[in-house]
A and B are shown apart, each in its own frame.
Chain A
């Protein structure tokens, strides 16, 4: 369904972007896009909660990870590494490597946050996850401007299920069906692929996406997946920028920049 931009049913003046999207319509699209992602985060969180309990975490410790770290891959890694007896220093070091990709998300979103208070930015940073980024960026681009409500909606649709799922998994994860047999392990990469297609509006975006994969894959094979994501995210845009810009794309880009917050 390609939801058409609509008037605010509450009768409030609906801000319309240059692309015709109103804030309520774009938020509704965000919420619909988040359905599968929320399910995926919940399923992954349940497995994490169960895994943490099996490996001797208390419920407070399992929840503390989900609240303070808020990054599934590094939380899983911590559970496994603690079980292998690794010292905290090694786990903290690995965490910083695994989560380095957030630097890219933050950099890509930063221009949209221009004019926001430091406190707002600092708070928003803590809930910046893979999924928050993937939901918020297309939302801002649909609107052509920042929308605080949309950002916190995106974050809430990821963070709340993640923490609730940690608790659910810890308390009764073994009672739930095998998420893998339901195919729920594929929800996350499928959602990322779908959201990437929404951002591909020209040759440069297409080349950036293709180069991100082409560069990320060998790096991941040689090192680890998180570094592959960082390498793809850093180098993919550089490859795309080698493309000469077409006249029509220059126009689109100029519109994007002037319509945006930068």
Chain B
């Protein structure tokens, strides 16, 4: 059994870890000025919204390829956000969004 690519996995992990760890391990993170705290507080909604939008607009196919595509995925994500905001229930929102996509694909519209 080949283990050659374990080395590559280690290297990839090694270059990923600093991005995950440096701010968490930084000294004095608990004594930041108020505007910086406010900025950090706003990263959450900005990043999650960008992840949602780009995830819907750039789907990954079975081969791992990413391509820009405007389709039912965008409607599903908006529906999920709307239902989640309305009912305060993420699971229900996801059921609506995913169900919509499955339905549309089942009737070969998407």
- Whether B23 and A110, one on each chain, are in contact in the complex, defined by CB atoms closer than 8 angstroms, is yes
B109 at the interface (CB under 8 A from A): no
Q: Which residue of A lies closest to B34 (CB)?
A: A257
Q: Which among A51, A92, A109, A217 is the interface contact of B12 at CB below 8 angstroms?
A: A92
Q: Mark A186-223, 1 if CB is under 8 A from B, else 0.
A: 11111111111111100011101111110111001100
Whether the pair A65, B9 counts as a contact (CB closer than 8 A) is: yes
A64 to B35, CA, bound (A): 40
Known: A106-B24, A193-B78, A220-B54. A61 touches B16 (CB 8 A): no
Specify the chain B residue showing the minimal Cβ separation from A107: B23
Question: Does A183 sit at the interface, judged by CB under 8 A?
Answer: yes
Q: Is there an interface contact between B5 and A64, defined as CB atoms closer than 8 Å?
A: yes
B102: chain A residues at CB < 8 Å are: 181-183
Q: State the Cβ distance, B107 to closest chain A Cβ, in Å.
A: 12
Asked if A23 is an interface residue, CB under 8 A from chain B, the answer is no
Q: Determine if A165 is an interface residue (Cβ-Cβ < 8 Å).
A: no
Query: Chain A's interface: helix, strand, loop or mixed, by majority?
Result: helix
Pairwise interchain contact A76-B45, C-beta atoms closer than 8 A: no
Contacts of A216 in B (CB 8 A): 50, 53-54
Whether a CB of chain B sits under 8 angstroms from the CB of A248 is no
Interface residue ranges of B5-40 to A (CB < 8 Å): 5-13, 15-17, 19-26, 29-30, 32, 34-35, 37-40
Q: A36-B90, A36-B98, A106-B19 known; A88 and B47 CB under 8 Å?
A: no
Residues of B whose CB lies within 8 Å of any CB of A are: 1-13, 15-17, 19-26, 29-30, 32, 34-35, 37-66, 68, 73, 76-78, 80-81, 84-85, 87-95, 97-102, 105-106
Contact assessment for B64 and A79 in the assembled complex, using a CB-CB cutoff below 8 Å? yes
- Which residues of chain A come closer than 8 Å to B10, judged between CB atoms? 64, 68
A: interface residue count bin: 35 or more
Contact assessment for A188 and B58 in the assembled complex, using a CB-CB cutoff below 8 Å: no
A103 CA / B19 CA spacing, docked (Å): 4
A88 lies within 8 A of B54 (CB): no
**Is A114 a contact of B6 with CB atoms below 8 Å?**
no
Complex Cα–Cα for A206 and B48 (A)? 12
The answer to whether residues A187 and B98 also contact, given A61-B3, A69-B12, A95-B15 and a CB cut-off of 8 A, is yes
- Is B19 within 8 A of A253, CB to CB? no
> Residue of B at shortest CB range from A97?
B15
Within the complex, the shortest CB–CB distance from B104 to chain A, in Å, comes to 8
Residues of chain B within 8 A (CB-CB) of A194 are 80-81, 84, 90, 93-94
